[in-house]
Amino acid sequence: MDRADIGIVGLGVMGQMLALNMARNGYRVAGYDVNADKVAQFNQNYGERNVIGCANQDAFIEVLQIPRRIMMMVPAGQAVDAVIASLKDVLEKGDLLIDGGNSHFSDTERRAQMLADIGLHFIGTGVSGGEYGALWGPSIMPGGPQEAWHLVKPIFEAVAAKVNDEPCVTYIGPGGAGHYVKMVHNGIEYAVMQLIAEAYDVLSRGLGLSPAQLHEVFDTWNESAAEDEGSLASYLVEITADIFAKVDDETGKPLVAVILDEAKQKGTGKWTSQDALDLGGATPTINAAVEARIISAYKEERVKASEVLAGPTPAYDGDRPLFIEAMRDALFMANLCAYAQGFALLRLASAEYGYDLDYSEIAKIWRGGCIIRAAILEDIHAAFAADPDLTNLLLDETFSAMVMARQGALRRVVGYATANGIPVPALSSALAYFDGYRSARLPANLTQAQRDYFGAHTYRRIDREGSFHTGWQELEA
């Protein structure tokens, strides 16, 4: 019997699609799942495609080439620990375990350490692109020891998405680096999705555009050539255009109009915000996106509040095509601010956790396969290639010119939405990030004075070195 080149544990949709992708690229793949029905179905549906579903863990271990390469495609959290616990005693020194789920990077660090102690290689990798990506080419973000990476490099390069014939996978860094970068990818994903949702809200509630008109607008934005300055061509804009065109079979209404407005979340966006706060990173647009999902979940409360708390009724009487143009530029600029926040967080994490990240390479592998793939990533890749130490994307020459040319549009959109009672937390956070970052002097001098006033926390002065305290009030002890 031919031994398998790689094994996949977890035959959910992602695991199955990845297995088929590997098989299509010439690798023999063994699959295993604790759910026997999934294994049987896998064999029945794809048995003739160089894949073999194994009925039990022993058979799975037996069929793998040595050193064994096993990729776990199970939900993040306890399931990963359970699979590791069940495999670690039957694997041999030199075998490789890969976690391809959205694990928290600190779990990956812990597991890597535990497995290294017993001589097993471990890779924690981000895999982005959903089911379609898993089957036809995801973006892959592997982290762990270099030695372990080399054991799986050819397979990952074969299955990854390709842009200009280059695979969308690169070694990210040690320990939890791969999962960290995937987490920030998802933080940016949350931000861009929320920015698009706000553009939809302003254009529909604010300007009265129908789903059919929105389809046209988003389709035009996505169709702009990737090389055009300020192009919004991207996967998320493309699927948004598709969504607006979809009609509900049951009601004949646009499907988007009958979908409940409560956004779910599995946690990666929140983790990005949490770690940014821990590291002292400003990611306001990602945070706004996380909070927007939270407030969306208060559906019942919002419905009640809408009957009590009246606000303005949106009415637009200006030039519509001009406003739609402004929205395009505003969305581009706000997207760029979200990417800038994500990459600035990666810089902090790289220093804090010793990841030694290569931002240009990260932008490069995000150009294809992943959910945030977008024309703008080509320019981000170029910006970091030209200056690997760039502190913030907004300071790159090309990007600074772009945001300066578009800030008027973002101000106009945020101004209109605010005046008309349409919430735009992500768009306005991006503008505030831009304005805060470009302010040589912020009102934090007053904050310091207040801290010193009530808590004797001291302050520094602009005209001399040292730490100062002022007796702001008479104390009568």
| List of residues contacting ligand 6PG (CB under 6 A) | 102, 128-130, 186, 189, 264-266, 268-269, 370-371
DSSP 3-state assignment of 370?
coil
Give the nearest distance from C-beta 140 to ligand 6PG in angstroms: 11
CA distance 135 to 32: 18
* End-to-end CA gap in the chain: 89
Instruction: Report, in Å, the least distance between residue 331 CB and ligand 6PG.
Output: 20
CB 124, min distance to ligand 6PG, A: 14
Q: Where are the alpha helices (DSSP H) in 96-254?
A: 105-117, 130-136, 146-159, 177-201, 211-223, 235-245
Orientation angle between helical segments 177-201 and 425-437, nearest 10 degrees: 110
What is the nearest approach in angstroms of ligand 6PG to the Cβ of residue 264?
Answer: 6
Nearest residue (CB) to ligand 6PG, 269 versus 425: 269
Find, among 75, 31, 74, the residue nearest to 56 by Cα: 31
Residue 467 neighbours by CB distance under 10 Å? 9
Nearer to ligand 6PG, 187 or 425 (CB): 187
Q: Compute CA distances 100 → 207, 374, 424, whole Å.
A: 43, 23, 34
Which candidate in 38, 109, 189, 364 is catalytic? 189
* Closest approach of ligand 6PG to the CB of residue 115, in Å: 23
Minimum distance of ligand 6PG from residue 172's CB (angstroms): 15
CA 94, 100, 105, 107: dihedral to nearest 10 degrees? -70
Nearer residue to ligand 6PG within complex by CB, 262 or 319: 262
Catalytic member of 38, 109, 182, 238: 182
From the list 190, 218, 165, the residue with the least C-alpha distance to 371 is 190
Q: How far is the CB of 182 from ligand 6PG (least distance, A)?
A: 7
- Nearest residue to the partner ligand 6PG, using Cβ: 128
What are 157's two structure tokens? 């390069």
Please report, for the chain, how many H helices and E strands are present, in that order.
Answer: 20, 9
Closer to ligand 6PG by Cβ: residue 231 or 268: 268
Instruction: Specify burial of residue 139 (Cβ count, 10 A radius: 0-12, 13-18, 19+).
Output: buried
The residue among 186 and 360 lying less far from ligand 6PG, judged by its C-beta, is 186
Helices 36-46 and 13-24, axial angle in degrees (round to 10): 30
Establish whether 189 is a catalytic residue.
yes
- Closer of 102 and 350 to ligand 6PG (Cβ): 102
Pair 430, 195: CB distance under 8 Å: yes
- List the 29-32 sheet strands across, edge first: 51-54, 29-32, 6-9, 69-72, 96-99, 121-128, 139-143
364 is catalytic: no
How many Cβ atoms are within 10 Å of 126's Cβ, its own excluded? 31
| Closer Cβ to ligand 6PG, 129 or 142, answer by number | 129
- DSSP structure class, residue 125: E
CB of 325: closest distance to ligand 6PG in angstroms?
A: 30
Toward ligand 6PG, which CB reaches closer, 50 or 285?
285
Catalytic residues, by residue number, are 182, 189
